[in-house]
């Protein structure tokens, strides 16, 4: 029988508009307020215009833009496919003469237009603003296009994922919950697996994998980096997400066509997915449980109990959601299957444990080895100041030196659970092998109770390569430096500024020479009497150095320039020291010159220890205490300890 | 014509329908009877193309309904709990149906709406009975060849019920519309249906043509003179027999005239052919299986 109705059903579209039109309007208004309106306000007010940043449109309330992008599309999908999750509406719609595929296309397309229209309209408004007003000097057409594309992409991707999950579930609440679980799951499960591997395998470089990969696995975290932190877009990731989006739509289509409507109002509509859900939840809760117990106790037996309790809890939760009742014990057999699978997994982890932990490549296979921390390795500019370079050892002797340390760490193997005491080292080692492969390990260990380890660590830290990589003065952009500020940390007043280029050169050379010639690694927390701030022409680049009176060459340069006298502070200048305990309850004045000198040589910047003391310094000729540092209780002279006891 | 053959359906592990078969002839009204939870609604949802059976087949005019748009254009499904699009008025609902059903007759819709004196307000503000009337207006204006309804007369007052029955019968007579109605109330179906099928625990336990039944089964009371020979009763197919004083009450499977002739030949003192309700027929005919019927007789 020929149909006189067209294949585009206006009434279905109209109904969708009635359902979600308001959301579209609100979304438009929200974006309008965040971008065009805010930009206009800032621009027209000369007071705020001065602070306006140029370039990216993600500089305007990026958090809000990101949150809207990951919530509004979910709202759209949930509202549009709400009819699938109620028996009455589901029966009504599916008794109508329209194919399920047509329903999906109608709803998805109407929602897509209503979702993207607010973004596109705001994009047009931003472009018009730029074209016809002076605002154009703050962002250009490419900025608008970039903003438009990123926002559209993220919104459409989340929307597609929501629609896909709408097909999977038969419950409104589960639609929302499962959508977020689904988009976060790939990243979440990686994090859980990595964290758990760290608890099981000594040397597992957790942060390396987390930084390198994990954020990319979820569009939510990936785009958070792009919108909030202005990370660059990777076309590879975009194509992966685009492919995922297309697959999700095809998946939604397939699932809808095969959806059994009698399962409406069940958490998971497709029986074949129920085991996936059940074991997925069980697995995740189990890993969380194991991890939690491990972090809280550090003991292996508690960790096992954590795994057990977690898996049981996860299983009960999953079953309760699927069956919609707490009486879940009838399905204990599936739990036993899961438990059996787990035992196999843990056994295999233990089988590889030994070989993983002791896997140190032969020196002859190693091209070079990185030694330091993860941030420097990744050249993460959020954490690493300019002038700090990743350190690679290439010489055979040096590689052996690193391996000696690594072996000692593995052997002492309290490694992962060092308290964060002062002498804790977080070491990240990456072997880059001649065959192109990489081998990464990370360790945390305390030097305090292991003199052998301490010796090996200091050997590396004392090497000139280490010093050169980790001291900014060796890696400065000399042309950018136009002056430097000299300052004594003990004096309240500002020190001199040096802009004579020859003195700057001489000072840099002297600092390098002095750092090179110190034999033992200086305690990084030790108080340095003097600091130098290098002033550069580049806005984001600054350098910093510190030294004390033992830096002979540096002091000599300053003396020759006639600057040393301005900043020189020696223990003899100190009138008295004021010791305060950690809670400022007990105070002691130290006036004996011998004690002052002793304490002065053991000052550190700050200690977090409860038994440490604050040291206030009162100089001759100053009216009050001019600087405050800390000292560890163990570093105090015996006579002072005795006085404090009283 | 609607034809279901060995229809089976499981929900999880529960067998909801077990090899159900029935036939609804074109231009007739079929009553699907059964207690709550017997499987009527499942049959109807399969017929409406909402659910898919696990086994067996259900054909409407020789074709399957599931995802068959051309066929579904000719079928209207009316659920037991009515659903209207939220915030839609009577007219807007009409427009929605008009967009989806090719045979939509707007004139008829307007006419039905005024006939029921329904105002053009949001359907959700109407009483349950009025909503049911809107549903009938929508259904009949779509001019379906097949109208499938789940408990459609529940909660309607007698006047409306009568008017709706009239409309249904009218469409069946005029356009040869085929109707399938489910109900748990046999009495309601009595003077509406041509055929009835009784479903119990997912099985079709009985299918009958009501006209045939009424002509096949007779209720009669008579009194004979004292001591008269009763052996003629042995020739009759008696379903039920009672004696009150000298009066015999029989329910007999027989032709009306034939039975009257046999009894008249005995020269009875009293002879009354009595009207028989559907309810009685079922109870007497089913004998041992009557337990199933009583459930649906409220």
In chain B, residues with a C-beta closer than 8 Å to the C-beta of A3 are 69-70, 73, 102
B74 touches chain A (CB under 8 A): yes
Report the candidate in A456, A446, A437, A390 with the shortest Cα–Cα distance to residue A415: A446
Q: Which residue of B has its CA nearest to A271?
A: B12
The mean pLDDT value for A27-44 works out to 94
Tell me the β-bridge partners of A628: A616
- The 3-class SS string of A565-630 reads HHHCCCHHHEEEEEEEECCCCCEEEECCHHHHHHHHHCCECCCCCCCCEEEEEEECCCCCCCEEEE
- Structure token pair of residue B3: 């034809």
Cβ–Cβ of A261/B81 closer than 8 Å? no
Burial of A250 (0-12, 13-18, 19+ CB in 10 A): exposed
Between A461 and A421, the higher pLDDT residue: A461
In chain B, residues with a C-beta closer than 8 Å to the C-beta of A21 are none
Helix, coil or strand: residue A392: strand
Condensed to tens digits (0 to 9), the pLDDT of residues B63-79 reads: 999 999 999 999 999 99
**Cβ-proximal residues to B75 (8 Å cutoff; 6+ apart), any chain:** A95, A97, B47, B48, B49, B60, B65, B144, B145, B146, B147, B148
Condensed to tens digits (0 to 9), the pLDDT of residues B262-287 reads: 888 888 888 998 888 777 777 776 66
B68: closest CA of chain A, how far (Å): 8
| Predicted pLDDT of residue B85 | 94
B146 touches chain A (CB under 8 A): no
Burial of B14 (0-12, 13-18, 19+ CB in 10 A): exposed
Question: If you ran DSSP here, which 8-state letter would residue A363 be given?
Answer: G
Q: Is the Cα dihedral B70, B75, B81, B84 positive or negative?
A: positive
In chain B, residues with a C-beta closer than 8 Å to the C-beta of A104 are none
A90: closest CA of chain B, how far (Å): 8
A330 touches chain B (CB under 8 A): no
Option in A12, A100, A260 nearest B67 (CB): A100
CA distance B140 to B2: 19
B261 touches chain A (CB under 8 A): no
Condensed to tens digits (0 to 9), the pLDDT of residues A273-330 reads: 888 898 888 988 998 898 898 888 877 788 888 988 999 999 999 988 888 888 877 7
DSSP A153-202: HHHHHHHHHHHHHHHH-S-HHHHHHHHHHHHHHHHHHHHHHHHHHHHHST
Burial of A311 (0-12, 13-18, 19+ CB in 10 A): buried
Between A519 and A553, the higher pLDDT residue: A553
Helix, coil or strand: residue B13: coil
DSSP A498-537: E--HHHHHHHHHHHHHHHHH--SPPPTTB--SEEEEEEES
CA distance A625 to A604: 17
Q: Where along chain A do its domains lie?
A: 10-269, 363-470, 475-567, 571-645
What is the Cα Rg of chain B in Å? 23
**Number of H helices and number of E strands within chain A?**
23, 12
pLDDT at A179 > cutoff 90 = yes
pLDDT at B298 > cutoff 50 = no
Cβ–Cβ of B50/A261 closer than 8 Å? yes
Average pLDDT, chain B: 88
Model ipTM value: 0.89
Cβ–Cβ of A91/B95 closer than 8 Å? no
Condensed to tens digits (0 to 9), the pLDDT of residues A356-400 reads: 888 889 888 999 999 988 878 877 777 777 888 888 998 888 999
Cβ–Cβ of B96/A11 closer than 8 Å? yes
Strands A424-433 and A438-446 come out as antiparallel
Domain B2-201: CATH architecture, name and number where available: 3-Layer(aba) Sandwich (3.40)
DSSP A538-554: STT--EEEEE-TT-HHH
Count the Cβ atoms, other than its own, within 10 Å of residue A625: 16
CA distance A192 to A184: 12
CA distance A594 to A571: 9
Cβ–Cβ of A15/B87 closer than 8 Å? no
Helix, coil or strand: residue A76: helix
At A5, the pLDDT band (50, 70, 90 cuts) reads low
The mean pLDDT value for A77-106 works out to 95
Cβ–Cβ of A95/B87 closer than 8 Å? no
| Predicted pLDDT of residue A419 | 53
Q: Determine which of A105, A262, A264, A265 to mutate to test the interface with B (most B C-beta atoms within 10 Å).
A: A262
In chain B, residues with a C-beta closer than 8 Å to the C-beta of A15 are 85, 96
The mean pLDDT value for A111-130 works out to 96
Helix, coil or strand: residue B261: helix
B12: closest CA of chain A, how far (Å): 9
In chain A, residues with a C-beta closer than 8 Å to the C-beta of B50 are 90-91, 94-95, 261
Percent of chain B scored above 90 by pLDDT? 52
Q: Which residue of B has its CA nearest to A88?
A: B83
A3 touches chain B (CB under 8 A): yes
Most confidently modeled range among A316-325, A529-538, B104-113, B233-242: B104-113
Query: If contacts are CB pairs under 8 Å, which of residues 85-104 in chain A contact chain B?
Result: 88-92, 94-100
| Predicted pLDDT of residue B29 | 95
B63 touches chain A (CB under 8 A): no
Please state at what angle helix A300-323 crosses helix A332-357, rounded to 10 degrees: 140
pLDDT at A1 > cutoff 50 = no
A269: closest CA of chain B, how far (Å): 11
Query: If contacts are CB pairs under 8 Å, which of residues 247-306 in chain A contact chain B?
Result: 257, 260-262
Condensed to tens digits (0 to 9), the pLDDT of residues A608-633 reads: 777 888 888 888 877 788 788 888 88
A427 touches chain B (CB under 8 A): no
Cβ–Cβ of A95/B77 closer than 8 Å? yes
| Predicted pLDDT of residue A525 | 67
| Predicted pLDDT of residue A463 | 86
Q: What is the CATH number of domain B212-295?
A: 3.30.70.250
Question: If you ran DSSP here, which 8-state letter would residue B122 be given?
Answer: B
């Amino acid at each position: 029988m020929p149909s006189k109705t067209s294949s585009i059903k206006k009434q279905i579209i109209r109904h969708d508009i009635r359902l979600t039109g308001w959301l579209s309007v609100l979304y438009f208004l929200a974006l309008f307020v965040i971008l065009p309106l805010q930009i206009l306000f800032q621009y027209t007010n000369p007071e705020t215009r001065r602070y306006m940043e140029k370039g990216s449109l993600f500089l305007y309330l990026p958090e809000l833009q990101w949150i809207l992008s990951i919530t509004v599309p979910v709202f759209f999908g949930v509202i549009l496919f709400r009819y699938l999750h109620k028996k009455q509406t589901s029966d009504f719609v599916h008794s109508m003469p329209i194919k399920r595929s047509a329903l999906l296309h109608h709803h998805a397309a109407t929602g897509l237009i209503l979702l993207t229209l607010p973004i596109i309209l705001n994009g047009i408004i931003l472009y018009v603003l730029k074209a016809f007003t002076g605002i154009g000097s703050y962002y250009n057409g490419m900025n608008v296009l970039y903003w438009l594309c990123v926002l559209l992409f993220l919104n459409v991707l989340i929307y597609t994922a929501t629609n896909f999950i709408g097909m999977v579930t038969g419950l409104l609440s589960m639609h929302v919950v499962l959508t977020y679980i689904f988009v976060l799951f790939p990243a979440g499960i990686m994090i859980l697996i990595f964290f758990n591997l760290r608890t099981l395998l000594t040397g597992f470089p957790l942060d390396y994998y987390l930084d390198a990969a994990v954020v990319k696995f979820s569009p939510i975290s990936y785009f958070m980096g792009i919108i909030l932190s202005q990370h660059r877009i990777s076309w590879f990731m975009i194509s992966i997400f685009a492919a995922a989006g297309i697959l999700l739509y095809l998946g939604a289509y397939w699932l809808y066509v095969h959806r059994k409507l009698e399962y409406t109002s069940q958490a998971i509509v497709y029986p074949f997915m129920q085991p996936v859900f059940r074991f997925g939840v069980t697995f995740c809760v189990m890993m969380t449980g194991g991890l939690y117990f491990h972090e809280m106790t550090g003991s292996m037996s508690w960790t096992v109990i954590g795994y057990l309790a977690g898996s049981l809890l996860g299983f009960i939760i999953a079953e309760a959601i699927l069956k919609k009742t707490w009486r879940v014990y009838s399905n204990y057999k599936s739990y036993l299957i899961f438990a059996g699978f787990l035992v196999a997994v843990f056994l295999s982890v233990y089988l590889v444990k030994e070989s993983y932990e002791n896997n140190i490549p032969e020196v002859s296979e190693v091209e070079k080895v990185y030694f330091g921390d993860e941030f420097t390795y990744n050249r993460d500019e959020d954490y690493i100041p300019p002038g700090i370079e990743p350190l690679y050892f290439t010489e055979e002797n040096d590689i052996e030196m690193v391996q000696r340390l690594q072996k000692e760490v593995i052997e002492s193997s309290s490694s992962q659970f060092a308290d964060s005491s002062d002498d804790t080292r977080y070491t990240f080692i990456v072997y880059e092998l001649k065959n192109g492969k990489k081998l990464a390990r990370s360790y945390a260990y305390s030097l305090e109770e292991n003199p052998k380890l301490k010796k090996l660590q200091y050997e590396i830290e004392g090497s000139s390569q280490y010093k050169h990589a980790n001291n900014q003065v060796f890696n400065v952009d000399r042309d950018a430096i136009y002056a430097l500020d000299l300052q004594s940390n003990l004096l309240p007043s500002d020190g001199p500024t040096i802009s004579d280029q020859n003195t700057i050169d001489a000072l840099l050379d002297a600092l390098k020479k002095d750092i090179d010639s110190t034999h033992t690694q200086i305690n990084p927390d030790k108080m340095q009497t003097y600091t130098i701030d290098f002033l550069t022409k580049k806005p984001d680049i600054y350098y910093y150095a510190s030294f004390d009176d033992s830096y002979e060459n540096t002091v000599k340069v300053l003396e020759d320039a006639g600057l040393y006298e301005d900043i020189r502070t020696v223990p003899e200048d100190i009138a008295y020291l004021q010791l305060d305990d950690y809670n400022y309850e007990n105070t002691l004045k130290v006036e004996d010159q011998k004690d002052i000198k002793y304490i002065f040589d053991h000052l550190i910047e700050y200690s977090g220890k409860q038994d440490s003391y604050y040291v206030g310094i009162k100089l001759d000729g100053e009216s009050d205490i001019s600087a405050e540092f800390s000292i560890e209780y163990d570093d105090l002279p015996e006579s002072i300890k005795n006085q404090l006891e009283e | 014509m609607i034809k279901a053959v060995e229809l089976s359906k499981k929900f999880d592990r529960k067998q909801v329908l077990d090899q159900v078969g029935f036939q609804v002839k074109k231009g007739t009204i079929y009553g699907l009877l059964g207690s709550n939870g017997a499987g009527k609604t499942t049959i109807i949802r399969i017929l409406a193309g909402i659910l898919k059976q696990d086994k067996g087949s259900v054909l409407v005019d020789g074709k399957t309904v599931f995802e068959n748009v051309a066929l579904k254009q000719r079928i209207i499904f009316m659920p037991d709990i009515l659903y209207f699009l939220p915030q839609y008025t009577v007219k807007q609902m009409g427009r929605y149906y008009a967009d989806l059903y090719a045979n939509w007759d707007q004139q008829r819709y307007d006419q039905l709406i005024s006939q029921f004196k329904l105002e053009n307000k949001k359907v959700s503000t109407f009483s349950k009975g009025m909503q049911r009337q809107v549903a009938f207006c929508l259904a009949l204006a779509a001019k379906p060849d097949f109208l499938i309804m789940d408990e459609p007369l529940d909660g309607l007052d007698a006047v409306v019920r009568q008017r709706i029955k009239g409309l249904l019968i009218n469409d069946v007579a005029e356009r040869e519309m085929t109707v399938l109605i489910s109900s748990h109330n046999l009495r309601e179906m009595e003077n509406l249906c041509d055929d009835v099928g009784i479903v119990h625990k997912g099985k079709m336990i009985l299918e009958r043509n009501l006209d045939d039944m009424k002509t096949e089964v007779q209720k009669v009371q008579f009194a004979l003179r004292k001591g008269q020979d009763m052996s003629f009763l042995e020739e009759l197919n008696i379903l039920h027999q009672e004696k009150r004083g000298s009066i015999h009450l029989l329910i007999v499977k027989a032709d009306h005239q034939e039975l009257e002739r046999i009894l008249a030949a005995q020269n009875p003192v009293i002879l009354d052919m009595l009207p028989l309700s559907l309810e009685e027929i079922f109870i007497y005919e089913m004998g041992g299986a009557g337990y199933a019927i009583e459930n649906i007789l409220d």
